[in-house]
Amino acid sequence: MPSLAKRFETLPEYVLARIPQKKHELLKRGVDVIDLGAGDADLMPPEGALRRITDAVYIPPMNRYGFGLGLVQFRDAAAAWMQRRFNLRFDPLKEIVPLIGSKEGISHLALAYMEPGRVAIVPEPGYNSYIGGSLLAGGEVYKYALRPRTNFLVELDDIPKDVLRRAKVLYLNYPNNPTAAIAPRDYLERVVKRCRELDILLVYDNAYSELAFDGYVPPSIFEIEGAREVAIEFHSLSKTYNMTGWRCGWSVARPEISAALSKVKSFVDTGQFMAVQAAAVAAFECWDTFLPKSREIFRERRYAAVTAFRQAGLACESPKSTMYLWIPLPDGVPSATFADRLMEDEGVIVLPGSGFGAGGEGFFRISFITSPARITEAAQRAGRVLRRLTQTTPRMDRTPAGVGGAA
């Protein structure tokens, strides 16, 4: 059998790769499964998007190749949204790149910037396509552990100088998956300044910009002075509009950076299904009516989750953004063991912190992707597993920093 490339062999196991199969097996055995794994809510996309795609599939040109250009109305709508939401102007044709989900763009971008000898600084725990894209491009990955000590922020000046010298890309994601941390503005200013000094491409993954609570409004990186010089920002319709399966997102950056990503994409895809882009335009149109209701649903789920997991003996704070709780485990309870036992013994799917890289050990992640009642039930089951694993009264005194706010 032909041997695999060394580059391929460096890829770690993808955290969610085995879970759908495992869930299928549990369901077949008749287990009452509660899935709090992927950030993939059980909610419907906006009605307007459903109607628009239904109409669009009957329009002949929509069924042809989109190529890199795609549906111009989608580019226009994304640029108009950037203006409305962040008061930032971008050229829809030169600075917006339509993506087949933001993951696609994030991972493909590395092919334009990474190569042997170049380093990507990747937060760990973190979204796995940062590592995946960089390794597949033959680059080197420097993992920066996100820990409570630094409020789950990447502090560039903690990184050895020889690594910084070779660094070409820095991936940042705030509001953060999986820690739910948010980045203060002065932090973002510091990072942009350092990236400019060090000539590092700042890849700012803003997939959770619209899922925020308690009055918190996540910024765009381009609100920070100087960011246009060095940054690219990724957006997604997945979480904002419950459109994960539709695979629709976009990037925004100065023309040179956008052109590099577009060129890579011109060799690996031939554009997205334009009916999806047409439906995405409808989703943009209902942003200000759909989002308040959606946020309220996630806020209720967050309240249920925080309350129930605390009652189960697992200390956690209420995150200001995202659809996740990043819950610390008592010392000596490995996150993979906890997640395995919870799935096998109680039918509850959560993600072990170690699945996001070694830097995530000591935590597990739950997603607000089902009803408050089911989340509460899952927390009770988690409490039982925790008691069995620790055989002592659970400790209540460990809380992650940087995820403040009342439930």
Binding stretches for ligand PLP (CB under 6 A): 39, 101-103, 127, 173, 177, 205, 207, 236, 238, 244, 249
Q: Between 220 and 238, name the residue whose CB sits nearer to ligand PLP.
A: 238
Q: Are strands 363-367 and 351-352 parallel, antiparallel or unpaired?
A: antiparallel
- For the bound state, the minimum distance from the C-beta of residue 323 to ligand PLP, rounded and expressed in Å, comes to 9
DSSP 270: -
- For the bound state, the minimum distance from the C-beta of residue 326 to ligand PLP, rounded and expressed in Å, comes to 13
- For the bound state, the minimum distance from the C-beta of residue 40 to ligand PLP, rounded and expressed in Å, comes to 8
Q: Between 187 and 241, name the residue whose CB sits nearer to ligand PLP.
A: 241
- For the bound state, the minimum distance from the C-beta of residue 200 to ligand PLP, rounded and expressed in Å, comes to 19
Task: Give the whole-angstrom CA distance, residue 201 versus residue 91.
Answer: 20
Annotate 224-262 with b (16+ C-beta within 10 A) or e (fewer).
Answer: beebbebbbbbbbbbbbbbbbebbbbbbbbbeebbebbb
Q: Between 103 and 320, name the residue whose CB sits nearer to ligand PLP.
A: 103
Q: Between 164 and 339, name the residue whose CB sits nearer to ligand PLP.
A: 339
Q: Between 206 and 389, name the residue whose CB sits nearer to ligand PLP.
A: 206
**Residue 46 contacts by C-beta under 8 Å, 6 or more apart in sequence?**
241, 282, 283, 286, 290
Q: Between 244 and 318, name the residue whose CB sits nearer to ligand PLP.
A: 244
Annotate 94-112 with b (16+ C-beta within 10 A) or e (fewer).
Answer: ebbbbbbbbbbbbbbbbbb
Task: Give the whole-angstrom CA distance, residue 169 versus residue 383.
Answer: 40
Q: Between 173 and 370, name the residue whose CB sits nearer to ligand PLP.
A: 173
DSSP 395: P
- For the bound state, the minimum distance from the C-beta of residue 70 to ligand PLP, rounded and expressed in Å, comes to 15
- For the bound state, the minimum distance from the C-beta of residue 249 to ligand PLP, rounded and expressed in Å, comes to 4
> How many other C-beta atoms lie within 10 A of the C-beta of residue 53?
20
**Residue 60 contacts by C-beta under 8 Å, 6 or more apart in sequence?**
none
Crossing angle of the two packed helices 102-113 and 128-136, in degrees rounded to 10: 40
Beta bridge partners of 203: 171, 232
Annotate 348-358 with b (16+ C-beta within 10 A) or e (fewer).
Answer: bbbbbbbbbbe
Peptide bond into 352 cis (omega under 30): no
Crossing angle of the two packed helices 72-86 and 287-311, in degrees rounded to 10: 60
- For the bound state, the minimum distance from the C-beta of residue 311 to ligand PLP, rounded and expressed in Å, comes to 27
- For the bound state, the minimum distance from the C-beta of residue 20 to ligand PLP, rounded and expressed in Å, comes to 14
Q: Between 353 and 383, name the residue whose CB sits nearer to ligand PLP.
A: 353
**How far, CA to CA in Å, does 66 sit from each of 98, 155, 264, 276, 370?**
10, 40, 16, 11, 35
Q: Between 34 and 207, name the residue whose CB sits nearer to ligand PLP.
A: 207
- For the bound state, the minimum distance from the C-beta of residue 265 to ligand PLP, rounded and expressed in Å, comes to 14
